Amino acid sequence: MAKIVPFKAVRPTRDKVCLVTCRSYEEYINAELAAQLDFNPLSFLHILKPAYSNQETVSYEKRYKQVSQKYQEFKKEFILVKDKKPAIYIHKIVTKTHSFTGIIVGTSIEDYNNDVVKKHEDILDFRVRLLKEYMNYSEFNTEPVLMTYPDNKTIENWIYNCTQKLADFEFSTTKKEIHYLWKIDDELEINWIQGIFEKTKNLYIADGHHRSEAAKLLSQENRDSKNTVKDYLLSYLISENNIKIYEFNRLIKDLNGLSKDDFLQKLNEHFIVELKNQQPFQPIEKHQFGMYLDHDFYSLILKPEHCVFETALESLDTQIIYKKILSPLLNIQDLRNDERIEYISGKQSMLEVKRKVDEGEFEIGFIMFPSNIQEIKDLADANLVMPPKSTYIEPKFRSGLVIYEL
C-alpha cells in the first residue's frame, strides 16, 4: 500500500514567489535565460546553474557545490524560508487549456523498491548518477516526480474542500499560467489523508523516472545514517484522469536510400495508405498515423490482420511505427541517439512537421496519436518499457516553488 509523508518545505516568501520560481533550465532559449539571470536576481535559475557562463570549464562536483552555496545564500537572505511544521501541499496549475490539481508529499523509496510505485520508462545510468550526485551535493530536491493514483472521490472531495480557503500562494507566470498552493499542516488531517493513500494499491510514475532512481541510489548510500529524509522522494500526486498526455511526432532526415515509390510500396505490406494531398491528416484513434512526404500528406492505417498483439508493448503505436517502419525500412535502430531522427511534442501544431520537411531539414514526418494512461499502467504492471519519446506529459512543475531538503 502507498505510504506518503509530510515534510518541512522550503518555499519562497509570498511576496517573492512569482520572481523566484522558474521553468526547467532546459526550456529557456539563450536570450530568455540571459535576461532572467541578468535582470532577475531572485530567480531560482541562479541556484540551478550558478556557473552557467563557464559550464564547460567547471567540474560537476564544483558546480554542484556552487548550487548548494547559492541555495544557502537565498536562505540567509530570507528569499527562501523553511516551514516550521511538517505539511503536505496542494498545488493547482491553471493553463490556457487545462487545470491540474495535485498533492505534494514525500513518497517512500521502499515502495519504489517493492514495486508499489510502478515504472514504465527505461533510464540512462550516467544520467541517474549525475542526478544522484547533484542531489547529494546540493542537499535539496525541487523537481517532484509526477505520479498518478486511481480516481478517488474521497480524495477529490477533500482537495475541493481544502482549496476553498485562501491559498498560501497565488501568482501568474509569463506563460500565462496561474499557480496556487495550499499548506495542510493539521496533524489529524494529515493522518487522515495518509490513511486514504494506505488503501491505494499502486502509484504510477508519469514523469521523473531518472529522479526516482537517483533518489533510490542516494537512499542506499544513506542506509547506515539516521537521516530518514533521504528515504523519501519528493512527489506530486495527481489523479490519473487529471494528467494530459501528448504524443511525440517523428521527423526523419532521409529514406535510407529508398525512392519515394519504393518506400510507399513497402508501406502497403502493413498499412492502408491513402494520399491526402494538401489536407493534413491528424490520427483520431490508435493504429492510425499521419505522414508528410514530398509536399503531400498521407494517412496510414494498420491493416486489421496486423492488429493482433501478445503484449501491451506490441500494441503501442510508438512500438508499431518502430517495428514496421523506422527499423526495417528506414534503418533507425537507436531511437534515443540516432542523429537521423528528431521529435516534436504534440503540443506544437502538426504543421510544424510540414514546415520542417518543406524546408529540407527532414525528408519525412510521422504524426502520432497520443498514448493514454491505461497503456502506461498496462506496461508498468507487466514490467515493460515504453520506447523513448512516447509521451509528453503535463503538468510540468516549476522549480523553486516547493523544496525538499535532503
Write a three-state SS string for 228-266. Answer: HHHHEEEEEEEEHHHCEEECEEEEECCCCCCCHHHHHHH
Q: Is residue 379 part of a domain?
A: no
34 and 19 fall within a common domain: yes
Classify residue 146: in a domain, yes or no. Answer: yes
> Residue 54 has what pLDDT?
57
Give the chain's residues under pLDDT 50.
none
Q: Are residues 210 and 321 in the same domain?
A: no
Number of domains observed in the structure of the chain: 2
215 and 280, same domain (yes or no): no
135 and 279 fall within a common domain: no
* Domain assignment present for 154: yes
CATH number of the domain at 61, please.
3.90.1530.10
DSSP characters for 139-198? -EE-SPEEEEE---HHHHHHHHHHTTSPPSEEEE-TTS-EEEEEEE--HHHHHHHHHHHH
In a domain, 171, yes or no: yes
Q: Are residues 224 and 346 in the same domain?
A: no
Specify whether 47 is located in the same domain as 127. Answer: yes
Residue 380 resides in a domain: no
The cell for 187 is 496533524
Q: Would residue 384 count as lying in a domain?
A: no
- Mark whether 274 and 226 lie in a shared domain: no
Q: What is the pLDDT of residues 302-351, one digit of tens each?
A: 999 999 999 999 999 999 999 999 999 999 999 999 999 999 999 999 99
Q: Are residues 238 and 255 in the same domain?
A: no
What is the pTM assigned to this prediction? 0.93
Tell me, yes or no, whether 363 lies in a domain. yes
Residues 258 and 241 in one domain: no
How far apart CA 66 and CA 72 sit, in angstroms, is 10
Cα–Cα distances in Å, from 148 out to 7, 68, 212, 391?
Answer: 20, 30, 14, 15
C-alpha cell at 377: 499502467
User: In CATH, what number is assigned to the domain containing residue 280?
Assistant: 3.30.1760
Residue 53's pLDDT is 53
* 317 & 202 share domain: no
Give, for 356, the enclosing helix (H) or strand (E): helix 351-358
Q: What is the pLDDT of residues 42-62, one digit of tens each?
A: 999 999 987 555 555 667 788
Q: Are residues 93 and 40 in the same domain?
A: yes
Report if residue 50 sits inside a domain. Answer: yes
State the pLDDT at residue 225: 72
Provide the residue range defining the domain that includes 238.
4-245+394-405
Same domain as 126, residue 37: yes
* 152-172 pLDDT per residue, tens: 999 999 999 999 999 999 999
